[in-house]
Structure 1
Amino acid sequence: MSFAHLIAFTAGLLLLYYGAGWLVRGSSTLARSLGLTPMVVGLTVVAFGTSTPELVVSMVSAFKGKSMIALGNVVGSNICNIALVLGLTAVFHPVTTGRVVITRDIPLMLVVSAYLLLLSFNSTIGRVEGLSLFVGILAYTWFNYKVALRVDRTMPGKAVLEARLPAGKIGLADKRWGQCLMIAGGTGAVVLGADLLVDAAVSIMTALGVDEKFVGLTVVAFGTSVPELATSVVAAMKKEMDISLGNLVGSNVFNLLSVVGATAMVRPIVIDGGFIGSGLVVDYLVMMAISALPLLLMKQDLTITRGKGLILLGCYVAYVIFLIVKD
């Protein structure tokens, strides 16, 4: 492993982080300038935009014949979002959510996870299976849109949704040409960043003698979750909780349906060594267990306290240690 590989990996992370930000800001301000309401923009443009790093990294990995990085990226990102991002955020400031997240959103995420588990048992996620996942994300977006139409603008859920939008038009985002430039630049940065990240990760993987599943579940997954992690921790430190468990759950659903679905539609995902033989089934089960953990922690008061946040962080650390020891 050379210093150049570390530089390339770091550059890839930075391009993913800033590129996703430019893409979301440019596309959301453009959509609003064209007359779309903040609610619609939040449910479509911003929701898809924040999943761009995972989507592009998974697609690039699949094209390079590194399917285990592609799938590991999604599974690892979902574990990271709940255990690391939510846990660390709660340590800085307790996170409270609405009951609908417990009664509807998390169970839906678990159902989608179980469906992906079933699709993976034959060790291949083909184009038709990918299409079924992608149809799922379209249905999920449509359902959320219909539900949001019935929610008054003053309701907390709506306020959280609109808080995710970039605040105010500043600089390039003030002009139509600037918005288009930000979209183009953000897209280019994310694509280039994903290419650098995957190539560097493969080189590091080879040098350290670890398999690509491990790299996808840990290093790459953490890298694509950096935007959510940075946003959540900064918001918590400022006590401006524009990130919520509902948003993280939504991000996980998008990862499972749109990222895996779109990647498989472009190029079927083949699980090297088999779903059981590769041990990926264990990672799926860990993802589902950690995804269900907030149901137990928030059953009484709908709040992730600092103590509960430490439990989530402990689960993430334990999982990473398990992966290191196993490999």
Structure 2
Amino acid sequence: MLVYISFFLAAAIVVFAAIKLNDYGDQISKQTAMSGAMVGGLLIAGATSLPELTTSVTAVYIDNVDIAVGNMLGSNVFNLLILAFVDLFYRKKQVFNQLNTNNFLPSTIFGIALTSIAIGAMILDYQITLFNIGFEMFILVGLYMISVKLFEQEEARDEIKGQSNSTPLNKVIRYFVFSAIIVLIAGSILSISGDLLAEQTGINSSFVGSVLIAASTSLPELVAVIAAYKIGNYAIAIGAILGSNLFNLLLLAFTDAFYQQGPILQGVSSSMIIIAFLSLVMMLITLYMLMRSPAKKVVKYIAPSLFTIVIYLVVSYIIF
């Protein structure tokens, strides 16, 4: 009973803190030269990815590599699933047709590249390490740093009616950091509680890491995206998802640094390769949604989101 209470209480705290995190991020976007895409892709994405880091590092220490890696890759998949569901729900707004796609192409393309490198590392058993860290991790970190440089500093921002902002920037930043800490603590408790619940069911580690725990640690992204959609700041919503996915791939390198038995990506089961390929396909669909010509009919517009949801359900069933 205590595990159930911990799980739902932590989930409630994560939801509340993530809403605040999104609000403060939006205020930072308005008071600084940082664009909505950059705030979403760096600040909010980094903060909402903290539970994934804590969970994966913990999984390394308990010697469960599938949970450590599956949590990161599964969170990326679940993040894109969130984007598909929200886009489907707000289909009449046709958000992707309103975006300045140039702000999001770098993070999407780099996400595809980093995921492809991770897939290659899992398939090819080359065991090349540096400081006991897989060589591919240094490539991931290098590409991530390049992607950060490509975020645009300026972006046209829509004014939100009825919202006044009188909070000084220094206070907003402090509130943002405090909310991020709350997300870290509550998200970690949520992940541990979810892991204990999953253990009681006897489900395999691959499914636990890539679906159950990944879904739990993605709650901040879910709330952040919904909150951003409600206030009409679609740039933060899309940027938070794409940036979080990039950040999760970066965190693989930090997780590998704690793993002492060789390259972490080469110690996972074959199910992780399936999850990684699923993430790659879903990102390619997202890239298509960003680059395609505006769809006039709603049915045609929602087709990619529907396809994303279907393939997620099919693959999750196969892994289960």
Supply the AA of the counterpart residue of 1:127. Answer: I
Residue 78 (str. 1) matches residue 76 (str. 2): yes
Of residues 207, 215, 228 in structure 2, which corresponds to 1:214? 207
In the alignment, the residues of structure 1 paired with residue 89 and residue 26 of structure 2 have an alpha-carbon distance, to the nearest angstrom, of 31
Superposition deviation, residue 193 in structure 1: 2.1
**1:72 Cα offset (Å):** 0.9
Distance in 2 (alpha carbons) for counterparts of 1:79 and 1:123:
26
Q: Distance in 1 between matches of 2:23 and 2:106?
A: 29
User: C-alpha separation between the residues in 2 aligned to 1:141 and 1:101?
Assistant: 12
| Aligned residue in 2 for 1:168 | 165
Q: CA deviation at 1:178?
A: 8.1
TM-score normalised to the size of structure 1? 0.73
Q: What CA distance in whole angstroms lies between the structure 1 residues aligned with 2:118 and 2:209? A: 17
CA displacement at 1:266 relative to structure 2: 3.9
- Which residue of the other structure, out of 231, 234, 256, is the alignment partner of 2:249? 256
1:315 and 2:311 matched: yes
CA distance in 1 between partners of 2:172 and 2:237 (Å): 30
User: Which deviations, in whole Å up to 9, do the C-alpha atoms of 1:120-147 show, x marking residues without a partner?
Assistant: 3449885354444334322221232xxx
Q: Distance in 1 between matches of 2:282 and 2:245?
A: 12
Q: Secondary structure at the match of 2:63?
A: coil
Counterpart in the other structure of 2:189: 196
How far 1:47 sits from its partner (Å)?
Answer: 4.0
Output one character per residue of 1:233-291: Cα deviation in whole Å (capped at 9) or x when no partner: 3554666534554543232122212x21222234458769944x442212211211222
Please report the RMSD computed on the Cα atoms of aligned residues, expressed in angstroms.
3.9
Distance 2:95 2:29 in 1: 30
Identity %: 17
**Structure 2 CA distance for partners of 1:240 and 1:306, relative to 1, 3 Å:** farther
By how many angstroms is 1:51 displaced? 2.5
Question: CA contact under 8 A between 2:207 and 2:319: conserved in structure 1?
Answer: yes
Distance 1:211 1:272 in 2: 18
* Bigger mean CA deviation after superposition, 198-207 or 265-274: 265-274
Q: Offset at 1:115?
A: 0.9
CA shift digits 1:24-80 (9 cap, x unpaired): 7678978998xx633497264344223323233323333343332221111111111
1:37 partner SS: coil
CA contact (8 A) 2:122 2:266 kept: no
Which of 272, 277, 300 is the equivalent residue of 1:280?
A: 272
Q: Once the 2 structures are TM-superposed, how far is the Cα of residue 305 of structure 1 from its aligned partner?
A: 2.3
For this pair of structures, how many residues does the alignment match?
A: 302
- Identify the match of residue 183 of structure 1 among 159, 164, 177: 177
Contact 2:55 2:192 in 1 (8 A): no
Contact 1:12 1:197 (C-alpha < 8 Å) held by counterparts = yes
Measured in 1, the distance between the counterparts of 2:238 and 2:22 equals 20
- Partner residue in 2 for 1:233: 226
Look up the match of 1:95: 95
